[in-house]
Amino acid sequence: MKYSHLFAVILLLGCLMFAAGCVNPDGGGETPAPTATPTETPAPLESVKILPDTPGVTYTLTAKKSTEEAGNVELTMKAVAVRDLRKDGYNIRYTFFVYNTDQVENGWSPASYEEVVSAGIPYVTKIDRIYPANERVVTVMLPRAASVKTFDINKPYVYGVVAVDVTV
C-alpha cells in the first residue's frame, strides 16, 4: 500500500510518454503547425452611380448580395422629395443597373437611360410617383428580373440607378 501512490505516478508518466510518442512518431519533439486554408474574399463593390434628372429629390442607393437568389444583387433605393416639389408630384422612371467592370471598356459609365438599355447590361426599370415631402423606397433584384443575365457577383462590379422625370 505504501508504494501504490508511487506506482500510480510512474504508470501515469509512462502513459504520457507513450502518448507523446504517438503524436509525433519521428521523435523530433515539435508538432507540425496546421496549414491554413485560404478563404475566398468577396469581390469589392465598385462605385455607386446615381444619375438623377429630378430636381428636388435626393437619392441614396445600397447594394447587397441577395439572400433569396444566389448570384444576384439586391439594390435598395431611397428617394426623398423636398416640400416645395410640384404639388401633384412627379412620375419618376428608375432604371437600376449592374455590370462587372471587366465586361465593359475601362472608364465606361452609363449616363442615361438609353445608354443603360443599349449597353446590354442587366437592368430593371420601374415607374413610381413621388409627391412633396414624400419618401419612397424601391427594392429590385438584379439580374434575376433583367433581360440580360451577364453578371457575376463574385467579380468586381458597379451598380447604379438613373432616375428621370417622365411626367407628361
Reported as a single tens digit per residue, the pLDDT across 65-101 is 888 777 888 999 999 999 888 888 889 999 999 998 8
Q: What are the tens digits of pLDDT across the range 99-154? A: 988 888 888 889 899 999 998 899 999 999 999 999 999 999 988 766 666 788 88
Q: Where does the pLDDT of residue 18 fall: very low under 50, low under 70, confident under 90, or very high at 90 and above? A: low
Q: 3-state DSSP call for residue 64?
A: strand
Query: Is residue 16 situated within a structural domain?
Result: no
pLDDT at residue 5, rounded to an integer:
63
The tally of domains found in the chain comes to: 1
Query: Is residue 26 situated within a structural domain?
Result: no
pLDDT, the chain, mean: 79
Query: Is residue 111 situated within a structural domain?
Result: yes
pLDDT at residue 16, rounded to an integer:
55
Q: Which residues, in sequence order, are bridge partners of residue 139? A: 76
Residue type, 78: K
pLDDT at residue 77, rounded to an integer:
92
Query: Is residue 85 situated within a structural domain?
Result: yes
Q: Where does the pLDDT of residue 4 fall: very low under 50, low under 70, confident under 90, or very high at 90 and above? A: low
Query: Is residue 23 situated within a structural domain?
Result: no
Domain at 88, CATH number: 2.60.40
Q: Is residue 53 classed exposed, middle or buried when 0-12, 13-18 and 19+ CB atoms within 10 A define those classes?
A: middle
- Comparing CA positions, the residue from 88, 94, 20 lying closest to residue 59 is 94
Q: For the whole model, what pTM was predicted?
A: 0.69
Domain extent, residue 92, equals 45-165
Query: Is residue 1 situated within a structural domain?
Result: no
Query: Is residue 56 situated within a structural domain?
Result: yes
Query: Is residue 31 situated within a structural domain?
Result: no
The pair phi, psi for residue 96, each rounded to 5°, is -85, 140
